[in-house]
Amino acid sequence: MGKLEDIVARNQQSFRLKGSRAMLLRGLFLLLILGLFLFTKWAMPPKDDRPGINVVPEKDRAVRGVKLYKVPTPTQKAQ
């Protein structure tokens, strides 16, 4: 009679999901979290309005201190 009582006690815990239902619930929870990250601003840092924080320095296109070397062609070597 002890085994039968253990089986009945185990089957009375209906709050616990088993098997494919648990995997489905976990998958839905994961999709919910991913959807919140994609379609809301959860993944974005807050806007920073401090003065001077968004100033971008001007690009300096001049190259200083770099010597470019071009390999002479055979006609230039003879000269």
pLDDT digits (tens, 9 = 90+) for 36-51: 888 888 777 788 888 8
Q: Residue 9: CA atoms inside 13 Å, Cβ hemisphere, count?
A: 6
Provide the mean pLDDT of the chain.
78
Residue 29 structure tokens? 């929870």
| pTM as predicted | 0.39
- Whose tokens are 């062609």? That residue is 73
Q: How many residues does the structure list for the chain?
A: 79
CA distances from 24 to 28, 60, 70 (A): 6, 56, 64
